[in-house]
Structure 1
Amino acid sequence: MEPSELGSKYDKIAQWWHEQHFESCYGVRQFEQAVALSAKAGKALDVGCGAGGRFVRILEQHGFTITGVDVSKNMVELAGKNHPEHKFIHHDICTWQTEERFDFIVAWDSIFHLPLTRQKTVVSKLCQLLTKGGILIYTFGNAQGEHRDHWCGDTFYYSSIGINNNLQLLIDNGLSVLHLELDQYPQTHVYTVACKP
């Protein structure tokens, strides 16, 4: 599934998503653990930022300024209304380019929507966007492969390069892996936290 198609699907459920997740505790424990590992507050990048909400608020509380990127135009518009003091960009992370570097990067439940063939390139890009000492947290599926699933009255695409390939990719990009957890076991959801030394 091309990212533009994914964006259109999330456009249809953006308001519902906002209402369900703005005050949600989903992923907060994991996210706060990653933020606590950050050596300094500075610039943060939220990949697949959605409508903003809990993660943006946590980053704000720790002194970060946030740039959010999302393939859904409606999600970005909501994020801008919810957090007007930060920057939110409607773009495909696969093709988005920036000269900025970030002290903290999160890609929570977004990388696994990318085409399987683009995941290594995107994760490598995120590694290169980190400053020295920067923290990366992102989620993925524990097994290699791709599938489609029915959700919210539509069909969504999911893929993963798997645990071993993700770990090797981080190492190849010069990052140190600090944590990896199947945090929703027996579901296949994995998150990892890594640092750029």
Structure 2
Amino acid sequence: MISAAGSCAADGGVAGPADEVIDLYNRRAADWDADRSRSLFERPWLDRFLIHVPPQGQVLDLGCGSGEPVARYLIEQGRTITGVDAAPGLVDLCIQRFPGHDWIIADMRGLDLGRSFDGLIAWHSVFHLDPEAQRGMFDVYARHLKPGGVLMFTSGTEEGAVIGEWRGEPLYHGSLSVSAYRAGLKAVGFEVLAQVENDPDCGGANVWLALRTGGRMGE
């Protein structure tokens, strides 16, 4: 199933570096898919995530890419996936591979699907947003997770932005500080279960695992 929502620029204004990432991944979806490792070195973290997702539970995958290998693994473990990506070329690959699941072309910034999930994963996706947009993602996480729902995402560790390179083209990455991620999660009612920096067993990823325990502080 496919649906569309949102626009490339979150605020409808002039596109910035994060919007250029969307264009890059859309134009070169086949190249990205070819380069994406299928070794599933992420499996230990995915299994930790799934401990908190009921059998046959509903998972929102933000920045789902081509669905390989993360969404595939979650599907094989019996979960139903709603995948969101702003690059139509990548969403097309998801539809071809997993037609029984819900694939949405949308910008994750300011996303509001009007429903909540048992789990939410944003694996190597949110770190393509600029720091200000990442601050807005805490509300996105909270509105899409049921109480007791589990969140897992990857991030940088220091606030700022860097422009890397992939296949000869610039590729933007942004980050908040570790303390800002912790504060942002706490403010919308998340308890951090685990946070590992530069995990050597997961390709050097900085991984967060958190449970939604309530609403915003003071609510």
Q: For the residues of structure 1 that align with 2:29 and 2:58, how far apart are their CA atoms? A: 26
The count of aligned residue pairs is 196
Seen in structure 2, the aligned counterparts of structure 1 residues 194 and 40 have a Cα distance that, compared at 3 Å, is farther
Question: Which of 59, 62, 83 is residue 47 of structure 1 equivalent to?
Answer: 62
Distance 1:77 1:146 in 2: 29
* TM-score of the pair, normalised by structure 2: 0.82
Match of 1:128 among 143, 152, 166: 143
Which secondary structure state, in structure 2, belongs to the residue aligned with residue 100 of structure 1? coil
Structure 2: any 5+ residue segments left out of the alignment? Answer: 1-15, 214-219
**2:52: which partner in 1?**
37
Give the percent of matched residue pairs that are identical in Structure 1 and Structure 2: 27
Q: Give 1:193 deviation, angstroms.
A: 0.3
What residue is the counterpart of 1:196 in the other structure? 212
Deviation (angstroms), 1:43:
1.2
Deviation at 1:188, TM superposition (A): 6.9
Distance (Å, rounded) in 2 between the aligned partners of 1:41 and 1:162: 35
Distance 2:163 2:59 in 1: 31
**Is 1:98 matched up with 2:113?**
yes
The Cα shift of 1:178 comes to 0.4
Aligned to 1:168: 183
Task: Report the TM-score, using the length of structure 1 for normalisation.
Answer: 0.91
Other structure's SS at 2:64 match: coil
Corresponding residue to 2:169 among 148, 154, 158: 154
More helix by share: 1
Distance 1:156 1:98 in 2: 28
- Note the residue ranges of structure 1 that are not aligned, 5 or more in a row: none
User: How many angstroms does 1:74 deviate by?
Assistant: 0.3
CA separation in 2, counterparts of 1:64 and 1:28?
A: 15
The one-character-per-residue Cα deviations of 1:84-132 (angstroms, maximum 9, x if unpaired) are 1111111111143211101010000111111221111113211221002
Per-residue deviation, 1:17: 2.1
Residue in structure 1 matched with residue 26 of structure 2 by the alignment = 11
Name the CA shift for 1:145/1:189 in 2 (closer, same or farther; >3 Å): farther
* CA distance, structure 1, for counterparts of residue 41 and residue 130 of structure 2: 25
**Helix, strand or coil at the partner of 1:195:** strand
